[in-house]
């Protein structure tokens, strides 16, 4: 496997992606385009459910459903027993976070780029328990500063919980360095890898995280309504989910129940097996292409886009950090982000808008307005990037 994508490989990958035919899809940080293989995996299972019955379809496909856990585990360098499948990243993250116990004065350390849903959960737990939220300072380039984190550690730090790649830009936080510090001090470490999976290699052993949550529909190209939680085995064994049902636990008589031994203790009984199978198919496709190759290509496309946008009068690029990932955010002088995105949509170019409220700490500190967000994937082309830039030029 060569590290660069040939034109014929891109053509083949685009032919497997119906959504590339009529639109320039640069909203992969929102939801990437599914391949025909992922789509048919989902549809075939729905058809099977309609033909033979939902429970019967699940029984018939039991091995393939188990295979999805193996695929997620392979993607993360984890064990299948450390994986729980969820309907999105938020739920997976909440399973991990709300299973932690906090007392008054406990410190939760997070990052400037933290995702809003996570931050709201900290606020709720702070209100409920008296725990305090503290934001780790950034370095001069805008990344979480590991030295500053190290200096904050004391016996009251109960959790380090950060976003690796934020929703509002290309910043890549030093997740593995945070892991080394968390592990050295035996502090639980929860990593939001929602925007990282599918575009960056993710190795939980190297990252040193105890818990990691991610979604299926973004850079992994899975169906909507899919996500997963990784919880390290040793950590899992001492973690009781905040909520359980008769899938995650078994009543064993009287007032006793046993939790499942694996991470599926967080799951509930009913679930969308068609979507799960689609997630498994998407992960296998990404692994077959090779995540390091994907990383290289998406960073190259995003890098060209940033460079070209920087030359357009009136455009400001807002991404932070060295070696940014494939999320490019920008503003246009005299044109708000929602109007700009709508004009691009009218011209068959999909982008999205990042509201400052989606990253509240960063939004407030940098006084960010809403940003236009363009997020290329490996199936995008340099031509499409140029088309976006030319269109931006024409609407300003």
Ligand X SMILES: Cc1ncc(COP(=O)(O)O)c(C=O)c1O
Q: Which residues bind ligand X (CB under 6 A)?
A: 88-90, 115, 117, 163, 166-167, 192, 194-195, 215, 227
Q: 57, 49 in Cβ contact below 8 A?
A: yes
Least Å distance, CB 168 to ligand X, is: 8
Specify the residue, 112 or 391, whose C-beta has the smaller distance to ligand X: 112
Q: Cα torsion at 277, 279, 282, 287 (round to 10°)? A: -100
Specify the residue, 35 or 88, whose C-beta has the smaller distance to ligand X: 88
3-state SS, one letter per residue, for 159-215: EEEEECCCCCCCCCCCHHHHHHHHHHCCCCEEEECCCCECCECCCHHHHCCCEEEEE
Q: 251, 259 in Cβ contact below 8 A?
A: no
Least Å distance, CB 390 to ligand X, is: 28
Specify the residue, 113 or 317, whose C-beta has the smaller distance to ligand X: 113
Least Å distance, CB 210 to ligand X, is: 17
Least Å distance, CB 117 to ligand X, is: 6
Specify the residue, 47 or 124, whose C-beta has the smaller distance to ligand X: 124
C-alpha–C-alpha distance, residues 356 and 342, integer Å: 18
Least Å distance, CB 203 to ligand X, is: 19
Q: Which candidate, 99, 101, 118, places its Cα nearest to that of 164?
A: 118
Q: 121, 98 in Cβ contact below 8 A?
A: yes
Structure-block tokens of residue 330: 């920008």
Is the sign of the CA dihedral 269, 270, 273, 275 positive or negative?
negative
Least Å distance, CB 88 to ligand X, is: 3
Q: Give the angle subtended at the CA of 334 by the CAs of 328 and 337, to the nearest 5°.
A: 40
Question: Does residue 251 sit in helix, strand or coil?
Answer: strand
Least Å distance, CB 152 to ligand X, is: 22
Specify the residue, 102 or 228, whose C-beta has the smaller distance to ligand X: 228
Least Å distance, CB 60 to ligand X, is: 29
Specify the residue, 166 or 248, whose C-beta has the smaller distance to ligand X: 166
Specify the residue, 32 or 57, whose C-beta has the smaller distance to ligand X: 32
Q: Which residue has the tokens 């490996």?
A: 378
Least Å distance, CB 89 to ligand X, is: 3
Q: 299, 323 in Cβ contact below 8 A?
A: yes
Structure-block tokens of residue 332: 């246009």
H-state helical runs in 230-354? 233-236, 273-289, 291-310, 337-346
Specify the residue, 359 or 391, whose C-beta has the smaller distance to ligand X: 359
User: Which element (helix H / strand E) includes 384?
Assistant: helix 382-395
User: Which element (helix H / strand E) includes 231?
Assistant: strand 227-231
Least Å distance, CB 216 to ligand X, is: 8
Question: Does residue 235 sit in helix, strand or coil?
Answer: helix
Specify the residue, 54 or 360, whose C-beta has the smaller distance to ligand X: 360
Specify the residue, 260 or 377, whose C-beta has the smaller distance to ligand X: 377
Q: Determine phi and psi for 69, rounding to 5 degrees.
A: -65, -40
Q: Cα torsion at 303, 307, 308, 310 (round to 10°)? A: 130
């Amino acid at each position: 496997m060569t590290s660069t994508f040939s034109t014929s490989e891109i053509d083949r990958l685009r032919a497997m992606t119906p959504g590339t035919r009529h639109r320039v899809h640069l909203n992969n940080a929102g939801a990437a385009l599914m391949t025909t293989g992922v789509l048919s995996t989902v549809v075939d299972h729905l058809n099977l459910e309609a033909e033979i019955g939902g429970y019967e379809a699940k029984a018939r496909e039991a091995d393939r459903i188990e295979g999805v856990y193996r695929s997620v585990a392979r993607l993360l360098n984890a064990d299948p027993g450390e994986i729980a499948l969820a309907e999105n990243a938020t739920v997976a993250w909440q399973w991990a976070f709300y299973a932690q116990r906090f007392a008054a004065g406990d410190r939760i350390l997070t990052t400037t780029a933290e995702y809003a849903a996570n931050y709201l959960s900290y606020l709720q737990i702070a209100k409920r328990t008296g725990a305090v939220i503290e934001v780790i300072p950034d370095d001069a380039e805008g990344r979480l500063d590991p030295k500053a984190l190290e200096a904050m550690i004391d016996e009251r730090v109960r959790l380090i919980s950060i976003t690796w790649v934020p929703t509002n830009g290309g910043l890549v936080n030093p997740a593995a360095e945070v892991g080394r510090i968390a592990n050295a001090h035996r502090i639980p470490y929860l990593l939001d890898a929602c925007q990282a999976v599918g575009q960056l290699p993710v190795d939980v052993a190297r990252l040193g995280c105890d818990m990691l949550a991610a979604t299926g529909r973004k850079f992994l190209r899975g169906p909507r309504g899919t996500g997963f939680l990784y919880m390290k085995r040793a950590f899992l064994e001492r973690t009781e989910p905040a909520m359980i049902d008769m899938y995650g636990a078994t009543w064993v008589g009287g007032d006793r129940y046993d939790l499942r031994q694996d991470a599926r203790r967080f799951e509930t009984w009913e679930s969308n097996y068609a979507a799960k199978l689609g997630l498994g198919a998407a992960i296998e496709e990404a692994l077959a292409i090779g995540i390091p190759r994907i990383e290289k290509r998406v960073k190259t496309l995003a890098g060209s886009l940033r460079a070209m946008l920087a030359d357009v009068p009136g455009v400001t690029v807002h991404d932070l950090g060295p070696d940014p990932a494939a999320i490019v955010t920008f503003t246009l002088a005299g044109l708000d982000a929602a109007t700009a995105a709508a004009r691009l949509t009218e011209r068959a170019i999909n982008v999205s808008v990042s509201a400052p409220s989606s990253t509240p700490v960063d939004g407030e500190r940098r006084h960010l307005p809403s940003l236009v967000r363009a997020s290329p994937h490996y199936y995008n082309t340099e031509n499409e990037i140029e088309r976006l830039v030319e269109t931006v030029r024409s609407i300003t």
